[in-house]
Structure 1
Amino acid sequence: MRTVGILYPGFSAEDDYPRAEKLLTDGATLPLVHTEMKVDAHREDALLDIGGDEVLAEGARRVAAESGPLDAIVWACTSGSFIFGPEGAARQAAALERAAGVPASSTSFAFVDACRRLGIGSVALGATYPPDVAGAFVQFLTHHGISVLTVSARDIITAAEVGTLPNGTVLDFAGAVASDAPQADAVLLPDTALHTVEILDALEHRVGRPVLTANQVSIWQGLRLAGADLDRPGLGTLFRKG
């Protein structure tokens, strides 16, 4: 049985993780702690604050104390990692790994690794963020060799508001994003505040190609780092190894 610690900022779509855990038939667990979020805002200064090394180190200490030994740990926040830039995000993940003493990553790098796993070279991006924050993720993906063909930014400031979006709205959003770039290899929905775990297969059915979502790739990355990279139904193309 593998244990992947999840560090999650604030409160919005954290219930995606216990939902996913029920689908992990090998007994893998995803214990989650809420890290400090002084200001809930998709804004550069607030994002730099929630992704600080001390904030994440404290989260790592708490999740280990509450769940016991970990096999891997993930900073489950896309904007709170890519906002540091490619090099800064790499330093952030390395600092978390040192603090936790187990393999570590963040959602931003999980998207990159998931695209590489599936051979995805071009994407359509459906961001809940304001345009400037979405642009920072475009730069991050481009740095790692992923071409972003179109960007749709919904300009929602708070994670709490994103977490209230119903499944139908998320499905419609993904469909609209996909229609803007029919030639894109995949659709990316990068906010961990967005509920998606219950509708991963439905999302892919709607758009007719792989859809990568933030909580999905965070879970996949953690399990992969923990040595539990298995075929898992119900969690989208990313979790199907065949």
Structure 2
Amino acid sequence: MHSSQQQNPSSSSVTALKCSGIAKSFGSRSLFSGINLELRRREMVALLGASGSGKSTLLHCLSGVLPTDEGTTWIGEQSLDNLNREQLAQCRRTKIGTVFQFFHLMPTLTAAENVELPLQLLGNPRAVRENRVQELLERMGIAHRANAFPSALSGGEMQRVAIARAIAHRPPIIFADEPTGNLDQNSGQEVLRLLTEITQEENAALLMVTHSEEAAAICQRSYKLEEGMLTAV
């Protein structure tokens, strides 16, 4: 697996994500090809496009969830090319945070336990985990909900737990897939504010799939995925 040891050609530690020539097809249908993108830490980029244009699939390819047909992807200093399943899983655990439209919280875990989960998977000591969880729940304004299960939380509260979980392990890149798509306007605005602040505070980059112009407006750059091509808007 030599390529996982290569140094990122864009080289500086401020590069959170870099991809070149990414292509993905399903059967005879080409979703996209020739995708080039680079995000630096503390940079927020929106990915727009019609339903079914392949936005979420591109996110899955860039995060190593789906294999690409062509191209190279770097997360920080690590190339995803030629990593086996175990190595990819380890890369995602250490270098990537994900926020989903439907939260994807573990229903049998409390808010605090959901946030703690990525740190447990990394084998962090209990004291380190507890301090980080407490810090994040306070930062998100939901420390009073630490022992509540997801079924007892509002949509806005669940998404704040999800953001805290996504950044618990301090990843260089956060992928957000329609993070406001299941929220009312006020909760959505609060989540966008938190994502903006957290990206700066945690020294991370944010790549956000959205159909919302309001959500895209918080980003420094926006791209549209249309007919398999990525173009700046």
> What is the TM-score when the length of structure 2 is the normalising length?
0.31
Q: Which has the higher strand share?
A: 2
Quick one: higher RCO (CA 8 Å, sep 6+), 1 or 2?
2
TM-score by length of 1: 0.30
